[in-house]
Every structure is written in C-alpha cells, then in structure tokens.
Chain A
C-alpha cells in the first residue's frame, strides 16, 4: 500500500494512527486502553485491556468497518460495528462490515466468551468512531478555514453554515489529519443516538438466507483433501495398532495414518482452557463421505487408559458416599451454619443432582489447514483464536507468527469452540498428509468428544426461624477435580447466592477424579447452580408457608449488616417485581393442572428473574405454556432486536436442558451420540418467551448467557406448584409427573 502513516497522541494510554489509502480515502486504526469496564480483565484471561479496530472510508462515502470478534450467533459482528458507526455519525446504510482475521498485532480481545463484548467494547468502539469523525470534521474545517468546533455532522456529511462536504469527499483529506486522543474525544449524548438502540438486522442475514458460504465447514482451498479422525471412545485412550492398509484400500481414500501428539504435552493456554494433544487415526481422501464410510473398515486395538473405569453410575455412588463423609474443603463459612441449623425452628434437607451436558452446536467441529510458504494457514470456527494459536505453535513446534487464522462464522458456539482440539487435529493431519486438509467431524464425534458441562451433586440443609425467615444454609457440593483444583467449570463461586443474604452460611466441597474433559457451557456454573439454589429456595418458601416470589423479595432485603453480596440486591428486586407484574403472578386465574414457578439468577453482570408457566396432565404429561423474562443489563440495549433474540434463545436453551438433556458415561465412553438420544428443543416444544427490561442507570452489559440459568428452576418450581412433586434431579424426563 502506498501509504502515508501518521501517528498521533502516542501516550501511555494508547494511540491512533491513520493511513491514506492508495486509491483515496483513509484507514483509521485505533489502539487504546479500555474504559474500565468492571471486571473486564479478570473475565478474559489473556485479553489484556487494550483493543483495536479499523475503519476504512472510501471516496464513495462507504465506511467499511472490521468486525474484530468471532461471531457464534451472539450478534457481535453487527453490534461492534454499530458502536463505531454511531459515533462516526454515518447512516447504517453506508456501512459495510467485514470479518477481521485473527491478528494480535492489530486487535485486542478477539474472543467470544463470557458475554463480554458489550462491557469490554461499549465505550472503546464508540471512541474509534468518534475519533474518525473528529478527523473528518478537522479536514472540512481546514478546507473552509474555520475551527472544527464550528462544524457539525449529520448522516455522513460535515456542515458549516451553508457549506457541506460528504465523508466520501473528505476521506482523503482526513488522512492528513493528526488523529485525536481517543481518551478525550467527545462522545455523543445518548439522546442523539441514531444507530445504537435501533433494531438492526444481522449483517450476514442476506448471505444466510441465500445459502452463501460463510461457515468453517463451507471452506474450500485448491488441492484440498477431506479428513476424518477416529479417536478412542474411552476418553484419553490411545491407538495401539490399526489395520491402516485395509483402510487405505477403501474407495476414495488416499491416506490413513496414526496421529499422536501426546508427547508434545504442555499447553501455553490458561488452565481453564487446557486441550489434550490429539491421538487417533486420520483417514484422508477425495470425498468426505467416502473417507467417513471408510471408518467402518477400521479395526483398532486401543490402550483405553485409566478412564475406562469411570461411569455415571459410579459417579452417583461415589457422590452419595462422599456426602456422608466430612467435606474435603470449606469454600465459605459465614456465622455458624451448624449451630444455627441445630437451633432453627424448622429445617429442611435435600439432595440435588444435575447431569453432564453436551454443547451440540449445529455445525459439527471442523477446520481447514494448509501448510505453505513455511507457515500454517487455517480457517476455523474458534471462539478463542489467541489461545488456540499459542497451543498450536507449541504442539507443532512452529512460531506463532507463522500461523494465520481466518475467523469463520460459527454454526453456534455455546462455549464448545472455546476449545481447539479439532484445530490441532486438522493441523497435525495436514502436516502428516502433506496436503491441505479439511477435517469435518460427524455428529457422533461431536456428541462423544465434547468438553462437557460437568454434572454435580449438592447436599443441602436449610434452617428457618419462627417467622419463616431463612437463617441457615449449608451446601456440601460434590463435584469433580483433584487436589485443590476443580475440573474446568466444575467449581462454584464462594459468594454464590444466598451467600451474604443469610447470616449462617456454609459452602463445602468434595471432589471426585475425572478423566473426561469438561468445559464452559453457556452461563458456565450458573446453568447448573441456579437450578439447585433456586429450587431449594422454593422448597424453603413452601416450608415457611410463604409465597415463593415474596419469599425471594424478602430474602433480597435481608442482607445482614457488613455482608457484601455478589450483586446489587436492588437491581434483582426490580426485575423480580417486574416479572411478577408481567406474568400475573399470584393473580392470574389459572386452570387446574397449570401453575407458575419463579427463579432469578445473577450472572455475567446481568440480572434476570423469570416465570415459567407449565401445565401437567394428571397422567404426568408436561407442557410449557409461556416464559416471562425480566432482565436488567444496564441503561442501553445496543441492538434491541438481537437482545430479544438472545434472551429468547437463552431461555429456551435452559428449557431444553431441563426437559430432556443428559450425557452419561459407561466404561469411560460417552453413551449418547446424536440428536435421538441427546435431544435439542424443537419448535413444537417452544413456548412464547416474553421479554421485559429494567433500564437501570448502569453500564451496558452482555446478553449471550444470563437469561438461561433461571429457566430450569422456574420450570421445576412450576411443576411443584401443579403436582406437589419436587424435581431434585435433571432432566425432568426422568421423573414421573403424574398427580391426582
């Protein structure tokens, strides 16, 4: 590029730089620190606190905005560019959005996870746009020989008195302007927003509805072969011998070989994102279907390893035994739970349990890998390209800067693609095969070889005083892990509700060793713990003879002096009161067999209270009639269309989990394999989800996850309201709901 590069306001906090495009126009890069979104650094390890974005402005007045983050369906490819375009002050119709490649020299925080994009980027992306606008204004002012303060902008045009110049006309001149300090560049008054707060359809919708290639699985490169990868069905097992020659003789197969990277252990990724190095058999050939057919000819002897002794039934037995023993560790101890339980007017005891779950994104795992010119080029659906690249470099023994990762749109993430096992497999296969390779997993591979949401067991005791107030809470959490370390996503926050709302609170844990990979599933830990906590709260409310919603409101008022809850009780009360009013809680005239249940949960900075209305026939047939959601994610919804879509989807995701999902193990193998035995929600099971907002005066936060956790307990509480039966283990399909 024939470019003039100017760097302005280089400071400790960051800088902007501008580049004139050879064909006219300007390219604005920005790199500066975050605006102090609360907890941002803690929630995305490795993301640091800086970021980068680019605007390409061409003489035709079109602003091409790079979408830096991976798109998994959370809407970030539309949302981040909206923030830039708003402050650039350009009509959305003049904006084009392009997906950026992974590039840690240009961008920061290229990750999809933790509902983090809004809190991390809400201010900083706006500053990128505002800085560009300021340069365009300065360019116009220079031309008109006036001060920038005398100029205004509107819809991609700069005005001064009766003069006006479009951004397109100014683009080249703006490239000569010293970029402003992004920290001090003025931002719009939210009252003047033209794009933020508008219902903007997803930028890829036109391609999605016409079937254009967008996803990782759609990638094709010249000379590419297709690959499948057969792993030991016992998690962690390895190949001993295989009839590779017979497989190589199969139609369409060009190569078959053992891949074993287990000697290259030692990942650079944070411990919560550990991916085991691959071991298995690659089959490579001219047609994916043919190479997959050839798998049936494989005869392999496996070294199954120690996990072959693990099973769901054994976990259940072990947990039961551990529950009778002294807990391995205390996670939290406030007051004197044991003493308070002994002296409580009423006590209640219950054992809760939830299963392992798979992510089951609809696009099976895949990656295209091509070694050329001394480097590795990859096309991958990946939520964490930075961790993936570091681990690939280490496993392959090549420098990170020799690895290029193109970010493809993803057919769902839900946390599954925080882990890059399929990228490692594709790279190792491509290197060994000596050709570009597209690895595609089957649904069976995808279901069996997940980083599962771990199951868990909670042995609870609660105590009420004479007036029915909660005075003591004890949870012995039996989970997975070894030594001091919980398995990924098998931990529990020490300040999980109702901690800080009850004077005597004990959270204790014991762990079982686990050889099966676990990981973050949408709203990790919250998606399970909400079920336990909000169900047991419901039990205590019933024991106290109180309305379960009012009992929760009272509890939120009950934070003892000196306690610091994990969240703002006032915000939670507000959503609880809103969902009470919108759902007709306690006032609706419901027919026999129909009931409502309520639950709330705080996660990912979001406050959500939800009511589920369910009908259970006397024979025990369950139908979910409607879900009401009240949420508080701060003062501004960036894109209300996507916000509602995310919340509805998350709520129905919670419903699917509760109704009929579980992953089980036998002999160290995953038993479920496809959608007939790991069941996703279908349209005829999907009730309407009504979404309401409390617009509180707080920083905007994310929506990919926090609406999910309240649904399973709210549904179980509704079932109790109808049947008197308490659901203490999921999924609900295991239970007989008949009543009379």
Chain B
C-alpha cells in the first residue's frame, strides 16, 4: 500500500504494509536511523518523532496513520544541528551512551514549542515517557532550561553554559 506524508519537510511516498509501525518504515525503508528502537511498546520513548508537531511514539504508530501528516524526525529537527535543544544538549554535555537522546530531544523540542519556559514540574510531566538508561536526567533538565534561554536570545549572543551540567544538579 502506498502511503504519502511529509517527512522532514519533503513529500514522501512509501510502499509498506499499512500496519507496519512508522519506526520501521523510517529506519529500514527510508534509512533514517536516528529514530531508535528501544522497547516496541511505547514504554521508553526512544522512537519519539513529531506528528503534526506533537510527540508520538513511532514504534506503535501504524504507518497508515501517517497518511497526509507532517512527520519530523531527529534528522529533520534542524538543518545543521542548530536547534536550541540540540545546541543545549551539546553545551551541557548531556549524553552518556546517547541511544535515547534523539527521543529525548524530540520530546524536549515539542515541549518547548508549546511551553517556552517550562518549570521542573512541566519537564517531569513532558519527559517522563522517555527513559534514559544512563540516567542523565539532571542534565536533561538543565539542558531544557538552557535551551529555553537559547531560544529567547538572538542567535549571535548565545550564553555559553558554564560547566557541563555542574556538579550540583
């Protein structure tokens, strides 16, 4: 079955069984490996993408539901890694193994799009579906706050994160 949607800003048509999860269409049919497989049951959030701007777990979303939608993956979040969340993630040095971070970044960027100044409580609520097995949670929180600041500041006057997450989380 041919399914048409917009993927990272480009019109895309795929031939796939309609019930095949979007995750596997992205990874194995369209060769976009940034979206990760972690659990296959929406428990871990490693497969998070944006569907019409909303975070969705692509491992449980049949590709047929993507028909006509706008899908954004980590590869399409910015042209060159310059999205404030991507910048903040590097400046705070969030990743350990890095496997969950694409999903974390997709959830965080969706949060900031709807809530530019989230509190810690807002972050907990929006991010609790994304597991980080390395438990970089302190830095994820710090990086979301940092990204919120970066998004407000003009791009030439980015504050540089002092320290990398700091010893006092």
- Is the CB–CB distance between A649 and B135 below 8 Å? yes
Partner of B43, one of A218, A361, A676: A676
Complex Cα distance, B137 from A682, in Å, reads 8
Q: What sequence of 0s and 1s flags, for each residue 190-231 of chain A, a beta carbon within 8 Å of any chain B beta carbon?
A: 000000000101101110111111110110100000100000
Interface residues of B in 106-126 (CB under 8 A from A): 123-125
Complex Cα distance, B87 from A205, in Å, reads 10
Closest B residue by C-beta to A366: B37
Q: What sequence of 0s and 1s flags, for each residue 70-103 of chain B, a beta carbon within 8 Å of any chain A beta carbon?
A: 0001110110110000100111011111111110
Complex Cα distance, B31 from A688, in Å, reads 38
B61 within 8 A of A: no
A75-B96, A211-B75 known; A205 vs B102 contact (CB < 8 Å): no
A124-132, A325-333, A404-412 - interface stretch = A404-412
| Most chain B beta-carbon neighbours within 10 Å: one of A74, A409, A641 | A641
Complex Cα distance, B91 from A204, in Å, reads 13
Q: Which residues of B contact A201 (CB under 8 A)?
A: 90-91, 93, 164
Q: What sequence of 0s and 1s flags, for each residue 327-364 of chain A, a beta carbon within 8 Å of any chain B beta carbon?
A: 00000000000000000000000000000000011111
- Is the CB–CB distance between B28 and A288 below 8 Å? yes
B40 within 8 A of A: yes
Interface residues of A in 487-517 (CB under 8 A from B): none
Complex Cα distance, B131 from A209, in Å, reads 16
CB distance from B73 to the nearest CB of A (A): 7
- Is the CB–CB distance between A648 and B169 below 8 Å? yes
- Is the CB–CB distance between B40 and A442 below 8 Å? yes
CB distance from B118 to the nearest CB of A (A): 12
B39 within 8 A of A: yes
Chain A contact residue count (CB 8 A cutoff): 67
Complex Cα distance, B101 from A586, in Å, reads 39
Number of A-B contacts (CB under 8 A): 207
- Is the CB–CB distance between B36 and A217 below 8 Å? yes
- Is the CB–CB distance between B136 and A649 below 8 Å? yes
Closest B residue by C-beta to A641: B164
A645 within 8 A of B: yes
B55 within 8 A of A: no
- Is the CB–CB distance between A692 and B167 below 8 Å? yes
CB distance from B48 to the nearest CB of A (A): 11
| Most chain A beta-carbon neighbours within 10 Å: one of B40, B97, B140 | B97
- Is the CB–CB distance between A688 and B101 below 8 Å? no
Interface residues of A in 519-537 (CB under 8 A from B): none
CB distance from B38 to the nearest CB of A (A): 5
A362-B38, A645-B96, A689-B169 known; A220 vs B31 contact (CB < 8 Å): yes
A642 within 8 A of B: yes
Q: What sequence of 0s and 1s flags, for each residue 572-610 of chain A, a beta carbon within 8 Å of any chain B beta carbon?
A: 000000000000000000000000000000000000000
A211-B73, A682-B128, A688-B168 known; A364 vs B37 contact (CB < 8 Å): yes
Q: Which residues of A contact B35 (CB under 8 A)?
A: 211
- Is the CB–CB distance between B164 and A412 below 8 Å? no
- Is the CB–CB distance between A675 and B44 below 8 Å? yes
A206-B81, A208-B98 known; A653 vs B168 contact (CB < 8 Å): no
The contact sample of 12 A-B pairs, CB cut-off 8 A, is A73-B95, A206-B90, A208-B95, A289-B20, A290-B20, A364-B38, A640-B167, A642-B93, A652-B137, A675-B39, A684-B124, A686-B138
Query: Given contacts A210-B34, A290-B20, could you give 20 more A-B pairs where the C-beta distance is less than 8 Å?
Result: A202-B93, A202-B95, A205-B90, A208-B95, A208-B101, A209-B102, A209-B105, A211-B35, A212-B34, A218-B33, A287-B29, A363-B36, A442-B40, A656-B135, A682-B128, A682-B129, A684-B128, A688-B168, A689-B169, A691-B167
